[in-house]
Amino acid sequence: MSGIIKRNVDVAVIGGGPAGLGAAIKARECGADKVLLIERAEELGGVLPQCIHNGFGLHYFKEELSGPAYAYKMIEKLNTSGVEVMLKTMVIDLTEEKKITAVNEQGIMEIDAKAVILCMGCRERPRGAIRIPGDRPAGVFTAGAAQRMINIEGHLPGKKILILGSGDIGMIMARRMTLEGAEVKAVVELMPFIGGLIRNEIQCLRDFDIPVYVSHTITSIKGKDRIESITIAEIDSKRKIIEGTEKEFEVDTLLLSVGLIPENELSRKAGVKLHPITGGPLVDNLWQTNVSGIFAGGNVVHVHDLADYVTESSEFAAENACKYIRGGLKEGEEIPVSCQDNIRYVVPNRIRKNGEDVVMFMRVTQPAEKVEIRVGDIYSRKLDFARPSEQIRIDLPGELIKKCDSGLIVRCVPQEDKNNGGEG
């Protein structure tokens, strides 16, 4: 048996989905010599190969593509970029010194990287994490697991379906299951509004007359070996069940679309601090974590609306990782960024005052119309509408940031008639 294989690379990218692919290609474009992309699955693309629906590539490739097509085009770019790829390779450890331990059929590897870009994406929240009461029969799947079963493996998970969660993946699976001959009895949503894009509300639910119950939750699952029925009930503003509103559905399958959680086991091992709301690493405007030389991009930082935005964010991270290696990262005094009012979270969490422009992303907590996004007192923008499912991007010129002394608070407030906070 051979010993541990030791390697040295300039940039190591962990994860080969739309984020990792974008980061690796960009790192080579920025002049990094040895770029290694490590992926645990048998093929590149991350979750894209199972996303056979449209909605990818409109921004990045200026074409409306399916997930597999987007992956195909990214992989084509990768193949001519000079990136080294390791498939079926699992990273099992990452240290603050940017030493990666990885395992595959060849054995164990220790890779020393000058910079690391974390692109591990997300995991789905399972039943146990939300503690749905009742029996524990077979037939409970996360929506993404069911999507993989149908679109890659060719199995139909069930015939009579209930879906919990009206985020995009839940709605997309409602359509997919209906098209493949299953009966989707209802989509159940905890919040008083639908969680995903309007486009999906129409083309996945309304198109197929699938009822949606907002402000509802599952009160019990019944079944011995397999699900036999599921009961839901309406909840009040304090999330308490309203008596007498129970409805029972005879179904054999439950799909859960109740949250994507950035996968940060490795980040924690490296001492990377995480954001309490997003679950992703705390990053600065260069998408660098608190660990020098460890950057992060894509959904591992926060869940993006589109794969195009995922690729863009990991490209930012890669550009900065390359500058870091060349010693060209402009340091600067750091100011913290926080949020209040109707802003659920903001990324990045701190900004370096080095004269460089900053891009910020945020989401509102509740849908609202005629609002104003205010960044400290240096910038504001009026919006006709803001929805939790649509991330908001703010580009701040470097000169504006230089005017800040203390932290920046980002807020979403109703527009005032006499407001004089125009575009920054």
Cis peptide before 157 (omega within 30 of 0): no
Q: Which is nearer to another protein, 280 or 388 (CB)?
A: 388
Backbone angles phi, psi at 24, to 5 degrees: -65, -45
DSSP states of 139-187: -EEEHHHHHHIIIII-----SEEEEE--SHHHHHHHHHHHHTT-EEEEE
C-beta closer to another protein: residue 97 or 180? 180
Please say which residue, 53 or 216, places its beta carbon nearer to another protein: 53
Q: How far is the CB of 177 from another protein (least distance, A)?
A: 12
Q: How many CB atoms lie within 10 A of CB 173?
A: 28
Q: Which letter does DSSP use for residue 415 in this model?
A: P
State how far the Cα of 381 lies from the Cα of 364, in Å rounded to an integer: 14
Least distance (Å) between residue 53 CB and another protein: 5
Structure tokens at 92: 């099992």
Rounded to the nearest 10°, the torsion over CA 251, 255, 256, 261 is: 170
Q: Work out how close the CB of 59 gets to another protein at its nearest, in angstroms, rounded to a whole number.
A: 12
Residue 18, Cβ neighbours under 10 Å: how many?
A: 35
Rounded distance, CA 190 to CA 378, Å? Answer: 36
Q: Which is nearer to another protein, 71 or 258 (CB)?
A: 71
To another protein, the closest distance from the beta carbon of 42 in angstroms equals: 9
Binding site for another protein (CB under 8 A): 49, 52-54, 64-69, 71-72, 150-154, 179-181, 198-199, 202-203, 207, 384, 390
**In terms of CB distance, is 176 or 353 closer to another protein?**
176
Instruction: Provide CB contacts within 8 A for 209, sequence distance 6+.
Output: none
In angstroms, what is the minimal distance from the CB of 114 to another protein? Answer: 34
**Minimum distance, C-beta of residue 343 to another protein, in the bound complex (Å):** 19
User: Based on CB atoms, which residue is closest to another protein, 98 or 148?
Assistant: 148
